[in-house]
Homo-oligomer: A and B are copies of this chain.
Amino acid sequence: MAPASRLFGGIEAGGTKFICAVGEAPQTIHASTSIPTTTPSATLAQVIAFFQPYPLCSLGLAAFGPIDLARESPTYGHILSTPKLAWQGCQIVDILQTQLGVPVAVDTDVNAAALAEFMYGAGQGCDPLVYLTIGTGIGGGAVIRGRPLHGLMHPEMGHMLLARAPGDTRPSGCPFHEDCLEGLASGHAIGVRFGAPETLPPQHEAWTLEATYLGQALATIATILSPQRIVMGGGVMHQPHLLPRIREACARTLHGYLPRLKTASDFEAYIVAPALGDTAGVIGALYLAHEIGCL
């Protein structure tokens, strides 16, 4: 018989579903499943049941935040204060490590997606790289000098402040901030402010505002972090008319100030769709596992 394969597990833990995958390498996925995000006990029981049959070397977890990534912290690997109240304080890394008996590497979903796009996707050779996901919520991650960005915690780009467009007095979708990116431009916010995004035609004013706010956010990211490229993922970005309008709005906000971002083709190369589609998170998770290797 052939020797057992070196197998790695990856989880993208999102607010709606947990995507779990098993593979020999980050881009070689043998089996995968999607498990609804309900309570920690129910969801994690199914996650563990999925992985248990496989002789894993290690597991990578790409989780929604905020999550404690500081190894020296007593709450390392715990979910911190989150609107998903059932998950607040969940010791997700400890649980997976104990139940599956393998080392677990953890990062945010968007840092993992940034890493995957940097290694295999639309961000190859672009360092720093920023990955922004516009879904139910908004999150941003970054790779700098080849590694995901950690600091005081991890980026929380969804909660950067924006300038409201004149006349936009609709409520924010964020319970914390009247004028943050997530509160004005997430899928949830569009729903609260205008109606379900998938029902709104391209000419709806919601999309004009969406492009304006995302363009503002990208301009601010460009001035602060100076990424070489920004990858825009998430369900809201499935609207095909949106990406060109975001590039235009970003150019309007920057107003020619940055010497490397002047022409339409500069912006086409700068603000791009993911190459890994919606799989960047779980590929990033497998990459984190692969880095641990087989002990």
Contact = CB atoms under 8 A, between A and B. Distances in A.
Nearest to A261: B152
Contacts of A255: 176-177
Please give the count of copies of this chain that the complex contains.
2
A254 to B, nearest CB: 8
A145 interface: yes
A58 interface: no
Interface in A68-89: 68, 80-81
Contacts of A157: 223-224
Interface in A209-243: 216, 219-228
B81 A152 contact: no
Given A152-B228, A255-B177, A258-B153, A163 B162 contact: yes
Interface string A181-209: 00000000000000000000000000000
Interface of A: 66, 68, 80-81, 127-128, 140, 144-145, 147, 149-164, 176-177, 179, 216, 219-228, 253-261, 270
13 contacts: A144-B144, A151-B226, A151-B227, A152-B222, A153-B259, A153-B260, A156-B223, A158-B223, A159-B254, A159-B257, A160-B219, A160-B223, A176-B256
Closest 8 pairs (CB-CB, A-B): A151-B226, A163-B163, A80-B259, A160-B223, A176-B257, A156-B223, A160-B220, A128-B151
